[in-house]
Amino acid sequence: MNIGILGLGTVGGGVVNVLSKNRASIFARTGEEINIVQAAVKSLDEEIICPTADFDLTENALAVVNNAEVEVVLELIGGTTFAKDLVETAIKNGKHVITANKALIATHGNQLLALAKSHKVHLLFEAAVAGGIPILKALEQGLSANKIEWIAGIINGTGNFILSEMRDKGRDFADVLAEAQDLGYAEADPTFDVEGTDAAHKLAILASMAFGSELAFSSVSTEGISKISGEDVAFATEMGYFIKHLGVTKKIGEAVEMRVCPTLIPKTQLLANVDGVMNAVMIKGNAVGPTLYYGAGAGSEATASAVIADLVDIIKGTLSPDTFGWQALEPISKQNPDEVQSVFYLALLVADKPGVLAEITKTLAKYNISIEQVLQKPAGNNANISIITNRVKMGILQAAIGQIEAQNFNQESVKIIFVEMLN
């Protein structure tokens, strides 16, 4: 099988290295040699992490996708402009495409997948979600007997590293972020990681695989972790929860809810104990119950592992021509945010004077919102109050919070954070 590679950075270089070191065992599976014909890099002067002597190296990425010898193109450049052109050209040239590019699939996947289908080639992207964890194959094949009820995933390692450090070492967000940047986990512009865009790309892909719906990245509500304070982390822990930056998607009737936001989950849940840069995705099927998949969400050879698994599937001819394993994809029907039901964690900073807690709890009661736990601690002349509610609709909660915020004892606006029990 002749392949062409676009990009020899962390992932592309990893692919070349893994194909080399595991050549014998991969051959024992496929019965066919994998031959790298050509690879494109941005500049021939850049440092490359893999040997390049055995294939043609070029700065002309178009040469690779137009190379008549190349049967499968690995798009490992990233971005949604030039990468899109290259993928389209490769498909139109009748080549299979494997990509690790979550942004490209989440934003242009419907069109690209339709193009691939019409040209009878595969467009595969196991590496785009949760790196080396074979989560898309699990959804497409392993859980195919199930109606998926929900998915909850830690799908951005940088955000998880920051929250783990904040909890374990009582450190501040900004401080840990700076360290993550030094360690190379976070980009110089960290918004992509910590504001949830990266996780939202992956969540959109997971939701489509799970529910057989078209990709709908713009329907994902996204909230970052920069609003999480050390107090939130400490209070949540004391109340029995860890805070994770979670991607959550649920099917409620015909509607699909998709959100990436800080979320409290019970400490006793396995997912709560996934720390540092590791990723994990929990999937609830209506037959199998809860399942969880854990591993490295990024990194050179971990991501390469997923890219090459797709390649092996192509060589072995074990792929369905169906998109995501479904005969046809339905348009997604977005859940009305006001109708979203959940348990919530509320964090208030209030003046420390008599009657404040009474006023808050009275207002919640008026809206029929039950309280599961309350924790109050002094904060200088003020008080931190954290409340965990019972299940309530977001629209009703926001009305109640609006009325609480209209009172003059609030020192800042009330923070609302989702709580997922994961059962």
Q: For residue 378, state whether it binds a copy of itself (rule: CB under 8 A).
A: no
The token pair that represents 231 in the structure block: 């107090």
Which helix (H) or strand (E) segment holds residue 232: the answer is helix 230-238
Restricted to residues 212-251, the positions that interact with a copy of itself (CB under 8 A) are: 212
Min separation Cβ 166 and a copy of itself, Å: 18
Quick check: 145 binds a copy of itself (CB under 8 A)? yes
Stretch of 95-103, 185-193, 303-311, 345-353 lying at the interface with a copy of itself (CB under 8 A):
303-311
Distance CA 180, CA 50 (A): 25
Q: Is 295 in the site for a copy of itself (CB under 8 A)?
A: yes
Kindly state whether residue 20 participates in binding a copy of itself, applying the rule CB under 8 A: no
Can 202 be counted among the known catalytic residues? Answer: yes
Least distance from a copy of itself to the Cβ atom of residue 293, Å: 6
Give min distance, CB of 121 to a copy of itself, in A: 16
| Catalytically annotated residue among 84, 137, 202, 251 | 202
Whole-angstrom Cα distance, residue 164 to residue 176?
A: 10
| Choices 104-112, 140-148, 175-183, 341-349; region in contact with a copy of itself by CB under 8 A | 140-148
Q: In which residue are the tokens 């909850």 written?
A: 152
Q: Looking at beta carbons only, is 4 or 297 nearer to a copy of itself? A: 297
List 287, 331, 355, 406, residue binding a copy of itself (CB under 8 A): 287
Count of residues for the chain?
423
Integer CA distances (angstroms), 180 to 147, 168, 194, 290, in order: 38, 15, 11, 32
* CB 337, min distance to a copy of itself, A: 26
Spell out the residues 6+ positions from residue 78 whose beta carbon is closer than 8 angstroms to its own.
7, 100, 101, 103, 104
Of 303, 266, 262, 296, residue with least CA distance to 281: 296
Site for a copy of itself in 53-82 (CB under 8 A): none
Question: Which of 71, 95, 99, 126 forms a contact with a copy of itself (CB under 8 A)?
Answer: 126
Q: Are strands 241-252 and 415-419 parallel, antiparallel or unpaired?
A: unpaired
| Whole-angstrom distance, CA of residue 87 vs CA of residue 64 | 11
Asked if 38 and 4 touch (Cβ cutoff 8 Å), the reply is yes
Q: Applying CB under 8 A, does 296 fall inside the site for a copy of itself?
A: yes
Q: Closer to a copy of itself by CB, 28 or 53: give it.
A: 28
Nearer to a copy of itself, 180 or 272 (CB): 272
Asked if 285 interacts with a copy of itself (CB under 8 A), we say yes
The Cα–Cα gap between 379 and 235 comes to: 13
Decide: is 406 part of the binding site for a copy of itself (CB under 8 A).
no
- The strand pairing partners of 38, in sequence order, are 4, 56
From 67-75, 242-250, 287-295, 384-392, span contacting a copy of itself (CB under 8 A):
287-295
Gap between the Cα atoms of 359 and 378, Å rounded: 18
Q: Which stretch binds a copy of itself (CB under 8 A): 86-94, 175-183, 201-209, 320-328?
A: 320-328
Contact 238, 167 (CB under 8 A): no
Contact between residue 245 and residue 196 where contact means Cβ atoms under 8 Å apart: yes
Is 326 an interacting residue with respect to a copy of itself (CB under 8 A)? yes
Q: Answer yes or no whether residue 1 interacts with a copy of itself by CB under 8 A.
A: no
Cα 384 to its chain centre, rounded Å, is 32
- DSSP, collapsed to helix, strand or coil, labels residue 386 as strand
Q: Which is nearer to a copy of itself, 32 or 405 (CB)?
A: 32
Contact 194, 224 (CB under 8 A): yes
Summarize as ranges the residues that interact with a copy of itself (CB under 8 A).
Answer: 14, 18, 21-22, 25-26, 28-31, 126, 132-134, 137-138, 141-147, 212, 270, 273-274, 280, 285-296, 299, 301-302, 304-309, 311-313, 316-320, 322, 325-328
Catalytic positions, written as ranges: 202
